[in-house]
Amino acid sequence: MTPITCIEDLRVLAKRRVPRMFYDYADSGSWTEGTYRANESDFQKILLRQRVAVNMDGRTLATTLAGTPTHMPVAIAPTGLTGMQHADGEILAARAAEKFGIPFTLSTMSICSIEDIRAHTKSPFWFQLYWMRDRDFMERLMDRAKAAGVSALMLTLDLQVLGQRHKDIKNGLTTPPKPTLANILNLMTKPRWCLGMLGTKRHSFGNLIGHAKGVSDVTSLSAWTKEQFDPKLDWNDVEWIKKRWGGKLILKGIMDVEDARYAAGSGADALVVSNHGGRQLDGAPSSIAALPEIAREVGSKIEVWMDGGIRSGQDVLKAVALGARGTLIGRSFLYGLGALGEAGVTKCLEIIYKELDVSMAFCGHTDIRNVDRRILVPGTAPGH
């Protein structure tokens, strides 16, 4: 095998090994995919100032995110259907994150359950919550998270209605997936993936089936999910969740300064500048373009993080320079998972860590906590 040196190498390998419907689910955006592409391309416009004759010894990337110590300013983002990129995908990613010393976030729409993650890891992890109409289920879900030692709840604010993703429709990605001839033929070309799935009992949504009222299998889950995402979510609901949870709360999906002010005043511990990976409102700015103004406005009141488009350690460095305390990676770790399982997630984290460490040194810094916009070439960054 050709040596893997960057996230793109993992993406190419994942595309070969993961069934098309699940690869496309992860690697696509809504409508024209303009925002999805901008999330990546806007990073490339930002230039770094190279410094020389400075002491580069004794470097550290360690920091804290919402009170959680982390080996670098990166956490694993919540991603739905992770266990369909690779058998037991959430468990494998959580173990890789734990060994690397960064936080892992489990999605409500995961294949492996909250209890599965607890059974296979020792460290606290985070749990992402979607706001649904069934309040009793919401409360029981939060109680399960608390019982499993979840140290922070991440509330996603930007998925009350779904953006249209053309690839999912064309691939027949429904709940359950449609067994079309095209999908069956494609599965026959992915023997490694199929063998992995034959070896696990985890094939459906572990946090929902058997826990939500009337949801006993994948078929009943389909009808339930169509009715459950509550479009009436507002800041009063955020306040209720904060009180009901009683622990660390992270708000994900902030793209506007006015919303950032509400988030800062909500009692939450952190907000994530995020456009859902370009999967919701196509035509919205990239996350990195929205970050600087939000960080300037509320960065002294609440921790500001960002996700969307991070494919390298340099992207992390640029985000930190523009005011992010931390970053979340979604597709990057999914590429590693689909390519090589747990080893692939570890490889992804190693690549990002090394690129971040070396790039920070070239910019004349030895501590990630001291990095700011002065490492950027003036005029090349948004709001700079």
| Distance (Å, whole) CA 271 – CA 253 | 8
* Statement: residue 383 has pLDDT above 90: no
Please give the average per-residue pLDDT across 56-71, as a whole number: 97
Which tokens is 74 given? 């990166």
Instruction: Write phi, then psi, for 326 (nearest 5 degrees).
Output: -155, 175
**Homologous superfamily in CATH for domain 7-159+172-375:** Aldolase class I (3.20.20.70)
Domain boundaries, the chain: 7-159+172-375
Q: Are 25 and 168 in contact (CB under 8 A)?
A: yes
Q: What is the pLDDT of residue 126?
A: 98
pTM: 0.97
Question: For 300-330, how does the pLDDT look when each residue is reduced to its tens digit (9 = 90+)?
Answer: 999 999 999 999 999 999 999 999 999 999 9
* Identity at 333, one-letter amino acid code: F
The SS3 of residue 87 is coil
Count Cβ atoms within 10 A of the Cβ of residue 284 and give its class: 0-12 exposed, 13-18 middle, 19 or more buried.
buried
* Statement: residue 226 has pLDDT above 80: no
Q: How far is CA 161 from CA 19, 133, 281, 287, in A?
A: 26, 13, 10, 20
Max CA separation in the chain (angstroms): 66
Q: What is the pLDDT of residue 195?
A: 97
Please give the average per-residue pLDDT across 212-227, as a whole number: 82
Q: What is the pLDDT of residue 176?
A: 64
Question: For 371-380, how does the pLDDT look when each residue is reduced to its tens digit (9 = 90+)?
Answer: 999 999 999 9
Q: How far is CA 108 from CA 51, 137, 333, in A?
A: 44, 12, 18
Question: For 185-218, how does the pLDDT look when each residue is reduced to its tens digit (9 = 90+)?
Answer: 999 999 999 999 999 999 999 999 999 988 888 7
H or E segment and range at residue 296? helix 287-298
Which tokens is 374 given? 């002065």
Name residue 127's beta-bridge partners. 106, 153
Q: What is the pLDDT of residue 174?
A: 75
Band (pLDDT 50/70/90 cuts) for residue 359 is very high
**Average pLDDT value over all residues in the chain:** 95
Which tokens is 170 given? 């064309």
Q: What is the pLDDT of residue 166?
A: 94
Q: What is the pLDDT of residue 194?
A: 96
Catalytic residues, which ones? 276
Q: What is the pLDDT of residue 58?
A: 96
Question: For 107-146, how does the pLDDT look when each residue is reduced to its tens digit (9 = 90+)?
Answer: 999 999 999 999 999 999 999 999 999 999 999 999 999 9
| Distance (Å, whole) CA 147 – CA 213 | 20
Name residue 376's beta-bridge partners. 48
